[in-house]
Amino acid sequence: MQYHLNGFRTGDPSVQPEGYVQDAVDVLIVGCGPAGLTLAAQLAAFPEISTRIIERKSGPLEVGQADGIACRSIEMFQAFGFAEKVLKEAYWVNEVAFWRPRPDGNGLHRAERIQDVEDDLSEMPHVILSQARIHDFYLEVMRNSPHRLAPQYNRELIDLNTADGDAYPVAATLKCLDKNDKTETIRARYVVGCDGARSGVRRALGHELKGEAARQLWGVMDVLAVTDFPDIRLKCAIQSAQHGSILIIPREGGYLVRMYIELDALQGDERAADREVTSDMLIAKARAILAPYTLDVKEVAWWSAYEIGQRVCDVFDDVPDDLRDHKTPRIFIAGDACHTHSPKAGQGMNVSMADTFNLGWKLAAVLRGQSSPALLHSYSLERQAKAKELIEFDRDMARLFSAKPKNADEAAQFQSYFKKHGRYTAGVETRYDPSVIVGKDAHQALATGQKIGMRFHSAPVVRLGDGKQMQLGHVLRADGRWRLLAFGGAGDTGQTGSAIARLCDHLATDPSSPILRHTPQAADVDAVIDLRAVFQRPHRDMRLDELPDALLPHKGRFGLIDYEKVFCADPREGADIFDLRGIDRQRGAVLLLRPDQFVADVRPLSDVSGIAAFFDGFMLQH
Amino acid sequence: MQYHLNGFRTGDPSVQPEGYVQDAVDVLIVGCGPAGLTLAAQLAAFPEISTRIIERKSGPLEVGQADGIACRSIEMFQAFGFAEKVLKEAYWVNEVAFWRPRPDGNGLHRAERIQDVEDDLSEMPHVILSQARIHDFYLEVMRNSPHRLAPQYNRELIDLNTADGDAYPVAATLKCLDKNDKTETIRARYVVGCDGARSGVRRALGHELKGEAARQLWGVMDVLAVTDFPDIRLKCAIQSAQHGSILIIPREGGYLVRMYIELDALQGDERAADREVTSDMLIAKARAILAPYTLDVKEVAWWSAYEIGQRVCDVFDDVPDDLRDHKTPRIFIAGDACHTHSPKAGQGMNVSMADTFNLGWKLAAVLRGQSSPALLHSYSLERQAKAKELIEFDRDMARLFSAKPKNADEAAQFQSYFKKHGRYTAGVETRYDPSVIVGKDAHQALATGQKIGMRFHSAPVVRLGDGKQMQLGHVLRADGRWRLLAFGGAGDTGQTGSAIARLCDHLATDPSSPILRHTPQAADVDAVIDLRAVFQRPHRDMRLDELPDALLPHKGRFGLIDYEKVFCADPREGADIFDLRGIDRQRGAVLLLRPDQFVADVRPLSDVSGIAAFFDGFMLQH
Ligand SMILES: Cc1cc2nc3c(=O)[nH]c(=O)nc-3n(C[C@H](O)[C@H](O)[C@H](O)COP(=O)(O)OP(=O)(O)OC[C@H]3O[C@@H](n4cnc5c(N)ncnc54)[C@H](O)[C@@H]3O)c2cc1C
Ligand SMILES: Cc1cc2nc3c(=O)[nH]c(=O)nc-3n(C[C@H](O)[C@H](O)[C@H](O)COP(=O)(O)OP(=O)(O)OC[C@H]3O[C@@H](n4cnc5c(N)ncnc54)[C@H](O)[C@@H]3O)c2cc1C
């Protein structure tokens, strides 16, 4: 954690100095769910961007909704600076148990018990924590930002209009629910609809969620209960012989348990309310499934009859496909507003946050003058493809989960599918197609374990300056910066003439250097592209005073030296980062990382022109 | 982290439900340094104890003073629930470099570079963080406690009187500095003077700090600077040929550095102020020592000329040695009020916190009716011995550090001393003598790595209920509870008839069971003595439904089951907790742990009468 660069400051370093708030609104965010809050937290990091986030409800979420947090989401929380809070409070999903009817038909038995997340899939675990607490953490990030950003509650979006040519072309009409429904208009450069499954922004765009007509009705309840079911503190999928199936998700705090209970399919316009589900019905059903084990529910903390379809929109912005070459987007939709899933795979909250983590840095890059607005097309392209893939996966998963297993074979089928898709539900399988911000695999062989188009896969390293053992991925903060990670080849210690030294010198001094071309004069040298290096040599055998200047940059108003740019492989655990991530030990490699931690490209250390050309593809010159 | 036992509650689980505050004050704490705040945070955990903490200054500390945080202190912070915040913000001391004059007399060279904390000394690192931030974290714990405890600032203790026989026998007179120095009187059952090196409480008791007349004057400054000294982000001890020595302590945030610069010895009544030290003098001296390396100081965040003697009081309470058998203590002193050290070993803050962590649970036990007031004698006995030992260590250390090394041999002597005492400065070598709360080593052989009288040494385990890999030591919260850790012998899985099962049944049902004897009727079964078990069998081979009831206790208003009492050895890293801590694999063992995490005794699993007798030695029957 670095601070004090521009002068020593007392107090909590996560509270940043207060910034200024402009009158005009660059971005209006509609809705304070996980999608809206991720975007607000991201944009709040930039003092020069003004953001407003509105919410129809009268205050923050307190209870209920989603609770599954994938490894990938925690990697992202790390970038926002609150992963350790989630890890502390949450239930950790270490294992999953599968219960099935006993072969003799008498009750249930545990058919299998497996590790939930495979080893080295992520440095982060899969955890369970109330969506409300995730909201709290985002709200805290926003509150601590230079903007002291806070949502405006009691504001309902009721209309949306675009006036081309205007600097603030989108006009949003809001109903002020705490002021006798008085209306108010906000003008914005961009509007992002994070307004959930019944999105008004989606409606204003004329988009539709497409998918199956039948929607599954699920009962979900968070309970405090006494039971003799032995795996009540493990995630369990339980399929009974007669009464359907249940998913048990132990919750944070050691006592609370969530149960997902499958109810019926809804048809056409039928709504969950029509079924008149009650919590007593859910409890009765849960007891029937769990029998002969007992279930004595002492308190129902929250329950819901939650209807769900596997649906997705064709486009996530306001640009019709045939106008992509002529028009750049002004209005976006994200999260449940453009795709919905069954709760089974625990993806709703995670994918919604990933949507706006993808969008946030792009909006920031355009608004800060780093990129042209054409960059914004990539949001719908990248995330719509991801959502479609997820819907398909989710549909299969839900179908398998609902099908009463006729025999051991069928039941086993579900388990094997579940295992196979562990990587998928962990959120680390997302892969974006080649584009201006994703390279074409030409040099993938230099870093086989860091797939172009996928998220950077962290591994342990030692920081040279202070000898700290740490995860390399944890330097990738949600700060809108691109990163160049240069991995040294054999014998490279940064000494004059080495490949790393030559790359650094080029980046620091050559007029064609992307760092020089794209960084504003007054900004720190790493403000737009953050150069870091990883060497193979053990850190005690390295010499700091041998390093190229670019790896010990002077920054801030005092010109202080940043000592946190250089890392060494950590041999202590056997395999080091070069082994773990398949980085070419002979030749080294440069990884180009996007601000959302995705690997944009892999290049040879000597390929300075290729690197420059990549950035020229979407960044503006300063 | 366990919560929701007595009902589901939304919001931040570290904020506890608000309690009631009594009119009478059980404990008055004088001074808001690390000693006072540790005690306040500890006492605030108990709704039935009323505490007031006063401070002469007008608000919390913002800058300066101590910054070294020993491993042991972080283990304690873990018990208070804020270790992860310290770990996140702090500088981690991974290595120490020793610089000496070059043999040819030209400038400096790095003579050695060593690991700062030896492997497996603690699961926690040695870190550096401003004392002000540690205060902040304690204040947050207090604010979140049932009492919402906050210090009263602008209150100076000016007088202290004791009236024997009164329920609140100590009367403290305070000057209200924000009310024209109006005075106010507080009556208290107990008063603890945590009022620093010039303690008024100590004066009121007529105690004296005894030690050498000469006190060392140190210059200390926290600076933002540019230098070409390569190890500026490592902890360094630098001895120059001509200009004395300097200790470099990198600070949190990546840029700030603390420098301790040795100045002269003060004589008699001479005060630091008499030397008219300025920050410019300190900078000039630092540059001379570091030459030929450059040092360009951009900002001095804090500096001080800090005088120090190695001194200690004979007694830390108000009971004269010859009255120990007739009178129990009412007034205590802790921290700098009863012992002072040079900053070299970085012990001041750590030992001060350890003092009141030792005292806190004892005061709570007496005030909650669990123990007789005689228990309170052990505070002065245990901590005074520790302080004396520390003073001696510190004096040697300071002398060695100050001596200009005449040759490489002498310089090397310092280094070897430094290394040898790594364990000592980490705070894990403290060992209390046998007493009513420390056993006599009779069965130490059953757990050779958990020394009776020393702090419990954590190791990794797997929690049975949810398969979580974790540190066993992290269940030892600062909640005033004793703990019985039962380690299973060969073949013990808790099955009926096994040694663990027999112990559990005895503890749960036998009239002589210490749990039954010392736990109030209305309280949870683990409210006073918390029983847990650790088995050797891998957790997947264990059966939860085979465990004795005492390891799955029903608790709280709903009678919910606590699933976090049972752990298994974790074979994944090679050596498991039985290997690491020398626990007898054949016979198992029971560890009796004090509320301050110290090992009170080691007993055979079958020694139910010995265990009962131990608790009878100081606990009252209910
Ligand atoms: C009742 C409910 C129960 C759920 N239960 C589960 C579950 O058990 N398991 C699971 O995995 N997932 C569950 N989900 C889904 C999960 O919560 C979502 O996938 C996730 O919250 C999506 O995040 P989002 O930010 O896209 O949308 P949301 O979290 O739905 O947030 C949208 C926000 O926009 C606000 N809004 C809507 N319209 C307007 C408007 N016109 N003006 C202003 N504000 C507006 C809404 O009030 C809401 O706060 C549930 C969702 C709901 C609504
Ligand atoms: C100026 C200064 C610089 C220091 N620098 C270093 C350093 O560089 N490195 C290092 O390791 N250690 C340093 N220390 C020592 C370290 O801070 C102490 O060892 C540690 O703070 C001891 O904690 P404590 O709680 O016992 O006492 P303190 O932290 O001294 O706290 C005592 C508190 O009691 C208050 N108080 C005193 N008298 C009264 C009264 N009559 N009524 C009400 N309140 C009262 C004081 O204002 C103070 O807040 C420094 C201490 C001081 C004072």
pLDDT digits (tens, 9 = 90+) for B229-285: 999 999 999 999 888 889 999 999 999 999 999 887 777 777 777 778 999 999 999
Per DSSP, A621 falls in state P
- What integer is the mean pLDDT of B523-549? 97
Query: Rounded distance, CA B466 to CA A256, Å?
Result: 13
Per-residue tokens: A230: 């032995």
Query: Rounded distance, CA B266 to CA B307, Å?
Result: 8
Residue B343 a catalytic site member: yes
Q: Considering CB atoms only, which of A94, A230, A253 is closest to B2? A: A253
The answer on pLDDT for B17 being more than 70 is no
Contact A542, A408 (CB under 8 A): no
B94 φ, ψ (degrees, to nearest 5): -95, -35
Contact: B250, A4; criterion CB under 8 Å: no
Q: What's the per-residue H, E or C state across A237-263?
A: EEECCCCCEEEEEECCECCCEEEEEEE
Contact: B564, A254; criterion CB under 8 Å: yes
Cα atoms in the Cβ-side hemisphere of radius 13 Å centred on B450: 35
The answer on pLDDT for B20 being more than 60 is no
Q: Please report, rounded to a whole number, the percentage of residues in chain B having pLDDT higher than 90.
A: 77
Nearest CA in chain B to A2: B253
The predicted structure's pLDDT at residue B216: 75
Q: How many Å lie between the centroid of ligand 2 and the Cα of residue B197?
A: 7
Q: Which residue has the higher pLDDT, B15 or A533?
A: A533
Q: What is the pLDDT of residues B464-518, one digit of tens each?
A: 999 999 999 999 999 999 999 999 999 999 999 999 999 999 999 999 999 999 9
Query: Rounded distance, CA B74 to CA B84, Å?
Result: 9
Contact: B7, A224; criterion CB under 8 Å: yes
Q: How many Å lie between the centroid of ligand 2 and the Cα of residue B262?
A: 20
Q: Give, in degrees to the nearest 5, the angle at Cα B265 between B278 and B401.
A: 95
Place of tokens 């000329």: B305
The answer on pLDDT for B172 being more than 80 is yes
Query: Rounded distance, CA A401 to CA A344, Å?
Result: 8
Kindly provide the residue ranges of all beta strands, DSSP E only, lying in A62-198, ordered along the sequence: 68-69, 91-92, 95-101, 108-115, 127-128, 155-162, 170-176, 182-193
Residue A67 a catalytic site member: yes
Query: Rounded distance, CA B105 to CA B237, Å?
Result: 18
Q: What's the per-residue H, E or C state across B156-200?
A: EEEEEEECCCCCCCEEEEEEECCCCCEEEEEEEEEEEECCCCCCH
Hey, whose CA ends up nearest to atom 38 of ligand 2?
B195
Q: pLDDT band for B21, please (50, 70, 90 cuts).
A: very low
Query: Rounded distance, CA A99 to CA B15, Å?
Result: 37
What crossing angle do the helices spanning B377-402 and B408-420 adopt, rounded to 10°?
160
Does residue B292 have a cis bond before it (omega within 30 degrees)?
A: yes
The predicted structure's pLDDT at residue A622: 78
Contact B309, B271 (CB under 8 A): no
Contact A236, A248 (CB under 8 A): yes
Please choose from A54, A194, A336 the residue to mutate so as to test ligand 1's pocket, defined by most ligand atoms within 8 A of CB. A336
Per DSSP, A2 falls in state B
Contact A245, A238 (CB under 8 A): yes
Contact: A230, B63; criterion CB under 8 Å: no
Residue A100 a catalytic site member: no
Nearest CA in chain A to B293: A545
Please choose from B54, B62, B306 the residue to mutate so as to test ligand 2's pocket, defined by most ligand atoms within 8 A of CB. B306
The one-letter amino acid at A464: L
List chain A residues with CB under 8 Å of B224: 4, 7-8, 558, 560
What crossing angle do the helices spanning A131-144 and A71-80 adopt, rounded to 10°?
20
Q: Residue B138: nearest ligand to its CA?
A: 2
Q: What is the pLDDT of residues A522-548, one digit of tens each?
A: 999 999 999 999 999 999 999 999 999
Per-residue tokens: A450: 């860091």
Active-site option among B91, B260, B424, B432: B260
List chain A residues with CB under 8 Å of B256: 4, 8
The H-or-E segment that residue B411 falls in is helix B408-420
Query: Rounded distance, CA B251 to CA B257, Å?
Result: 5
Cβ-in-10-Å burial (0-12, 13-18, 19+) of A573 comes to: exposed
Per DSSP, B571 falls in state G
The answer on pLDDT for B362 being more than 90 is yes
Active-site option among A26, A52, A56, A67: A67
Ligand 2: atom nearest CA of B201 is 41
Does the Cβ of B555 fall within 6 Å of ligand 2?
A: no
Query: Rounded distance, CA A10 to CA B62, Å?
Result: 6
Nearest CA in chain A to B300: A8
Residue B110 a catalytic site member: no
- How large is the ipTM? 0.93
The one-letter amino acid at B279: S
Nearest CA to A132 out of A223, A64, A31, A55 is that of: A64
Contact: B255, A560; criterion CB under 8 Å: yes
The predicted structure's pLDDT at residue B123: 97
Query: Rounded distance, CA A247 to CA A93, Å?
Result: 13
Question: Within chain A, which residues score under 50 in pLDDT?
Answer: 19-23
Contact: B8, A469; criterion CB under 8 Å: no
Active-site option among A138, A190, A260, A379: A260
Share the mean pLDDT of chain B.
92
Q: Please report, rounded to a whole number, the percentage of residues in chain B having pLDDT higher than 70.
A: 95
Query: Rounded distance, CA A237 to CA A303, Å?
Result: 19
Per DSSP, B4 falls in state -
